Structures are given as structure tokens and as C-alpha cells.
């Protein structure tokens, strides 16, 4: 044995002794009481929240709903609307679905519409406001990040898994728009999620990092845009700290002009009109905090979509500007657990609230088949 090989052998032997000592110490520690880190106290009392109907869509007489609260691992209390079929029997355990989105929206706009319709079809559903948004807790308001937004889905699964009226082996998630991307990210992390549906999906990390339609850009263009974004937001962070306030990125435009892209006009027609406006939604009002943006630009999501082993249904409009996000996730997934459903003629926002366009029968069939 030469000196190099001997040195390597001695190093490995020393490492083995160190590990063995660590294991013995761990064994000794196992015999001593170890205090667990306590779950956070929830800061919002669901019983004090109004259950008066305040949605942007009509109430369905076939469904009951009530406000509930749950917490994520960052100690933020989230508020959700729990929807159940009125003909649900006492002691019955239902298949459950956590629903969120679009990005910038709240549960009284789109996610609640999906949740109520699926409850009418026999599911227990939970539409929730994300952290820092709507009725949910968290400061500063309207902050977002790919980590916390994904965590909110996982926290919803935590909550549903512990309800006595839910079968914990039959829980799915449904994400709309930007929350479609977070749903995919959550499913790649958590095998408790038995089935995933996305509708008109965005990958928020990708679009913030690269801008729209990055497939038409050169790497040099993307790099230059990312640099300009970093410089702009970093300068603003200095001012935010000095001023004690957070500049907002700006919501959907209140007025539109003919030269704006069609999809921007479509967003306006939802977020800034009676059809979907909500003062709680940062899509309708201020936008997210500007300092949230670099989190998405520097933290990609969905990179492990190909590791999802449970069924995934990706739904998108045939005329949607965002269609490529769903198509690219579909291509990335390599198994036989994926399905891409394109709705002919539909634009991005048609899948927010057009009941004759959203394929609820297909969604319900998918969950009934795959929540097992």
C-alpha cells in the first residue's frame, strides 16, 4: 500500500470511529428526555370570524361552509373556508382537497368557487388565504415567497390529515394560476398528497426570473434582465429599511389601453371589475411587496416535478398566454402518472370563473379515481 492509499484508509477509519462515537452518543441521548419544539399558538380565533357570504360567486344550496384556522411551520395562522356537502352523514370520512390561487387572489374569488363546486360533488374541500394575505396572519402584509407559499399547501395537508371527517390517505391539492406551480412543488415534496390538479398554471419563479415567453429570449437577454431586476429591488430594500415601509409592486392595472397585451386586459376584466374585485386581494389592489420578487428569481420551483409518483392533471386554455408552463411541466414528468388537458379556445382567466369552461366533471372524476 502506497502512502496515498494508506492516508486514505486511515482517514476513512478515523471517520468510522467518529461516526461510531456519534452513534453511541445519540443512543445515550435517546435515553434522556428531549423537549420537542412546540407548535405555535394560533393567533386568529375562527369562532370570531364572520361566516356571512362575502364571495364573488353565488352560494350553492347543496353545500355548507364555515371558517376554520390552521397554522404553518413558520407560526403563521391561516384562515380557510371549509366546504362540505350538506348531505354528508355523521361520522363519515370524505376525500379532501386543499385549494388555493390564483397568485394574488384570496379565497373569496376563485379558489372558493372551485372548492364549493367540488364539495357539491362529494368532497370535503378547503380554500384558504395564503400567509400574509386576506384574512390569514403574517406581517408585513402581502409578502410572498416560493418557500412559504409551498409550505401553506403542506400546512393545509397537515390540518386536513388531522380532521376526524377526512380520510388522511385520500387528500389531494388543486392549485390555480401561480398556485398551480406551488401545488406541483408541494406534490414533489410530500407523498401524503395523493393526487394533484393544476388549472391555468403559472411557474412564478420562472416568470419572475426570466420574464414572460423566455423561450423566445437568448440566455444573454435573460441574464441582463435578471441583473437589472436585482439592482432595482436591492436599491429599494435599502430605502424600505430606511423608511420603515415596504414598497408594493403594484396590482393589476385599474385601466387598460389598446396597446396593452391581451392577457393584461383579461386580468383587468377579472381583478378590477365586479366580476372578481376584492379589497383583500393584492391582485386587485397593491400587488405583493416589491422585496418579495428576488425570492422567486433566485429560488426555482418544480425542478423535481419528475419525481412526483402520484397522479397529476394539468389543465390549461388553448389560447392562454401561459399555456407553456403546463406543457413544460408535462414534458418534464417522465412517468405514466401525468395528463395534460387543453381546453380549446380558452384564455388564462376563463379558467378562473367561467363555469361552462372549467372542466369540473373531469376534475371530480380525476380525484375520485386517484385519491386512494
Q: Write a three-state SS string for 6-56.
A: HHHHHHHHHHHHHHHHHHHHHHHHHCCCCCCCCCCCCCCCHHHCCCCCCCC
140: preceding bond cis by omega (within 30 degrees): yes
pLDDT greater at residue 372 or residue 247: 247
Per the prediction, the chain carries an average pLDDT of 92
Q: Strands (DSSP E) along the chain, which ranges?
A: 63-71, 77-85, 94-100, 124-128, 166-176, 193-199, 312-317, 338-343
**pLDDT band at residue 307 using 50, 70 and 90 as cut-offs:** very high
Q: Give the mean pLDDT of 166-191.
A: 98
Q: What is the pLDDT of residue 34?
A: 74
Residue 16 φ then ψ, to 5°: -65, -40
Q: Give the mean pLDDT of 340-360.
A: 98
In angstroms, what CA-CA distances link 6 with 11, 13, 14, 16, 299? 9, 10, 12, 15, 43
102: preceding bond cis by omega (within 30 degrees): yes
Q: What is the pLDDT of residues 234-252, one digit of tens each?
A: 999 999 999 999 999 999 9
Q: What percentage of the chain exceeds 70 in pLDDT?
A: 91
Q: Give the mean pLDDT of 344-349.
A: 98
Q: What is the pLDDT of residues 179-203, one digit of tens each?
A: 999 999 999 999 999 999 999 999 9
Amino acid at each position: 500500500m502506497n502512502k496515498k492509499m494508506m492516508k486514505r484508509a486511515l482517514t476513512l477509519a478515523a471517520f468510522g470511529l467518529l461516526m461510531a462515537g456519534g452513534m453511541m452518543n445519540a443512543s445515550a441521548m435517546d435515553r434522556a428526555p428531549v423537549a420537542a419544539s412546540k407548535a405555535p399558538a394560533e393567533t386568529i380565533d375562527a369562532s370570531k370570524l364572520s361566516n356571512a357570504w362575502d364571495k364573488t360567486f353565488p352560494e350553492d344550496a347543496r353545500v355548507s361552509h364555515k371558517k376554520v384556522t390552521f397554522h404553518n411551520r413558520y407560526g403563521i395562522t391561516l384562515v380557510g373556508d371549509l366546504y362540505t356537502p350538506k348531505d354528508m352523514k355523521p361520522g363519515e370520512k370524505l376525500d379532501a382537497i386543499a385549494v388555493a390561487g390564483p397568485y394574488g387572489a384570496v379565497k373569496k374569488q376563485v379558489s372558493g368557487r372551485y372548492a364549493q363546486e367540488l364539495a357539491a360533488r362529494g368532497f370535503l374541500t378547503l380554500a384558504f388565504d395564503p400567509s400574509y394575505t386576506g384574512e390569514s396572519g403574517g406581517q408585513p402584509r402581502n409578502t410572498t415567497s416560493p418557500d412559504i407559499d409551498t409550505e401553506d399547501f403542506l400546512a393545509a395537508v397537515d390540518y386536513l390529515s388531522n380532521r376526524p371527517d377526512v380520510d388522511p390517505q385520500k387528500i389531494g391539492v388543486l392549485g390555480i394560476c401561480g398556485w398551480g406551480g406551488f401545488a406541483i412543488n408541494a406534490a414533489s415534496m410530500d407523498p401524503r398528497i395523493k393526487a394533484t390538479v393544476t388549472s391555468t398554471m403559472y411557474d412564478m419563479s420562472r416568470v419572475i426570473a426570466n420574464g414572460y415567453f423566455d423561450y423566445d429570449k437568448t440566455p444573454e437577454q435573460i441574464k441582463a434582465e435578471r441583473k437589472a431586476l436585482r439592482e432595482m429591488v436591492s436599491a429599494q430594500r435599502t430605502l424600505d429599511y430606511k423608511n420603515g415601509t415596504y414598497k408594493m409592486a403594484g396590482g393589476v392595472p385599474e385601466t387598460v389601453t389598446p396597446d396593452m397585451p391581451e392577457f393584461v386586459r383579461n386580468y383587468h376584466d377579472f381583478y378590477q371589475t365586479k366580476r372578481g374585485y376584492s379589497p383583500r386581494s393584492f391582485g386587485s389592489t397593491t400587488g405583493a411587496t416589491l422585496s418579495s420578487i428576488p425570492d422567486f428569481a433566485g429560488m426555482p420551483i418544480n425542478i423535481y416535478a419528475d419525481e412526483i409518483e402520484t397522479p397529476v392533471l394539468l389543465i390549461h386554455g388553448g389560447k392562454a398566454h401561459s399555456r407553456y408552463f403546463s406543457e413544460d411541466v408535462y414534458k418534464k414528468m417522465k412517468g405514466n402518472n401525468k395528463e395534460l388537458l387543453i381546453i380549446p379556445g380558452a384564455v388564462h382567466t376563463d379558467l378562473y370563473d367561467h363555469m361552462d369552461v372549467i372542466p369540473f366533471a373531469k376534475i371530480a372524476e380525476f380525484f375520485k379515481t386517484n385519491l386512494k
